[in-house]
């Protein structure tokens, strides 16, 4: 049994087939009200992470309970996969924790099933909105209602390896088109003589396809789940990666042999397109001899386009079944906005989305670099796309798998496009 206070337990959960989510009563907006400082309240808080994050939540909850002595918070944490298995089981029984650390890819699924509390009645009241820009608040909106408040943000970026660039005698990527980026990778690969490569096949990541679509005024998927591309456009994208697959990029077999690490964080490639919060992990894996990374804007398809956007590293959400919505909203506000949360968590959950939390956070050099990077791409930041469709994770993984097969040469672009559209039809119409 968990104590009413700050108890942490890494609970092993063995489940068979995934439990289908069951809608439960609630999901509509609760009256905002105000917090009764005299009412004794107990809340459950669940998050994913490790012992380091658990200790940070321990500190944050202690600071929260000191400020709100009438509210006791019991906390549990699990690894990411186990966390969502546990939530599925709880959702089926209508007993989700009051407050949850939440992942963007599950927000639509849980909100559309009536499992999350609508937060709009609390915005500007219990949940402070002045420290959160509107484009940050909009990230947690599904069907015109707010269901999650981002704790932190990240953006798509191009990491580079300064040690390998120096060895190759090649300057940092100076920006430009996707063709310019491919040429830059080729220059590195040629100079390295088989010791390392300029990068990998970026057409294996659906996010790079999304970037190009956004620059053209389109999108991956609309709010209603309609794709913003046809087979011809996907064919064009995958065909653009053929020069990389023909020798510019790291061979797929070599990349597979490096698993579970990747080509970039084993110093086998000089660049990697990914979310900007991956830097700390890369530096840790690269190890001795690496004190910094390059971080620059990705290639651009149409100059002046707002193709980039801020994505939540994670959010906080409240269960529709909570018996204490005001207290739960108070806890969410503290975990997102308070200076104490910024000082305690730093960048453990990503770069704080709240200005008050960010100002209180002590940024290490890499975190400051990420902050400077996101400021540098301000002109390219557009509105975030709609919250991912249900099944987006399946399509993202299918896209990646087809990219691997293209690199192995076991499938043609035409076959890959056909398979992806078949999978997409199943996901969108299930």
Q: Residue 162: which H helix or E strand, with range?
A: helix 162-168
Distance CA 273, CA 175 (A): 13
Residue 91 has pLDDT above 50, yes or no: yes
Distance CA 291, CA 98 (A): 41
| Digit-coded pLDDT (tens) for 126-172 | 999 999 999 899 999 999 999 999 999 999 999 999 999 999 999 99
Contact present, 197 and 249 (Cβ < 8 Å) = yes
User: Buried b vs exposed e over 9-31: b needs ≥16 C-beta within 10 Å?
Assistant: eeeeeeeeeeeebeebebbeebe
Is-above-0.85 flag for pTM?
no
Distance CA 205, CA 402 (A): 10
Strand partners, 158: 273, 296
Tally of CA atoms within 13 A in the half-sphere of 372 that contains its CB: 10
| Digit-coded pLDDT (tens) for 331-369 | 999 999 999 999 999 988 889 999 999 999 999 999 999
Distance CA 150, CA 188 (A): 38
């Amino acid at each position: 049994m968990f104590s009413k206070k700050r108890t942490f337990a890494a609970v092993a959960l063995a489940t068979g087939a995934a439990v289908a989510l069951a809608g439960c009563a609630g999901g509509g907006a609760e009256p905002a009200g105000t917090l009764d400082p005299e009412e004794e309240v107990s809340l459950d808080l669940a998050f994913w992470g490790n012992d380091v994050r658990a200790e940070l939540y321990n500190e944050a909850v202690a600071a929260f309970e000191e400020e709100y002595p009438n509210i006791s918070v019991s906390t549990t944490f699990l690894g990411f996969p186990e966390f969502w298995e546990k939530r599925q089981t709880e959702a089926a029984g209508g007993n989700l924790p009051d407050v949850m650390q939440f992942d963007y890819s599950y927000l639509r699924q849980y909100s559309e099933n009536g499992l999350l509390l609508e937060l709009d009645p609390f915005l500007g009241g219990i949940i402070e909105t002045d420290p959160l820009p509107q484009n940050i608040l909009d990230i947690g909106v599904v069907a015109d209602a707010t269901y999650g408040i981002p704790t932190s943000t990240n953006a798509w970026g191009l990491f580079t390896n300064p040690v390998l660039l120096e060895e190759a005698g090649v300057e940092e990527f100076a920006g430009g088109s996707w063709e310019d980026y491919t040429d830059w990778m080729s220059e590195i690969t040629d100079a390295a003589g088989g010791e390392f490569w300029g990068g990998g096949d970026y057409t294996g990541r659906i996010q790079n396809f999304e970037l190009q679509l956004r620059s053209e005024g389109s999108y991956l998927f609309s709010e209603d789940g309609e794709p913003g591309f046809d087979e011809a456009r996907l064919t064009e994208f995958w065909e653009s990666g053929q020069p990389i697959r023909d020798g510019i990029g790291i061979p797929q077999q070599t990349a597979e042999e490096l698993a579970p690490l990747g080509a970039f964080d084993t110093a086998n490639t000089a660049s990697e397109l990914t979310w900007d919060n991956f830097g700390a992990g890369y530096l840790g894996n690269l190890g001795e001899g690496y004190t910094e990374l390059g971080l620059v804007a990705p290639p651009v398809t149409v100059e002046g386009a707002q193709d980039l956007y801020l994505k939540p590293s994670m959010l906080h959400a409240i269960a529709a079944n909570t018996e204490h919505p005001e207290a739960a909203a108070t806890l969410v506000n503290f975990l997102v906005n308070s200076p104490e949360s910024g000082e305690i968590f730093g960048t453990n959950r990503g770069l704080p989305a709240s200005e008050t939390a960010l100002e209180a956070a002590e940024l290490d050099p890499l975190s400051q670099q990420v902050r400077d990077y996101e400021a540098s791409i301000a002109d390219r930041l557009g509105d975030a796309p709609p919250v991912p469709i249900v099944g987006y994770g399946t399509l993202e993984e299918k896209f990646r798998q087809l990219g691997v097969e293209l690199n192995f040469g076991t499938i043609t672009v035409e076959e890959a496009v056909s398979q992806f559209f078949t999978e997409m039809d199943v996901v969108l119409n299930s």
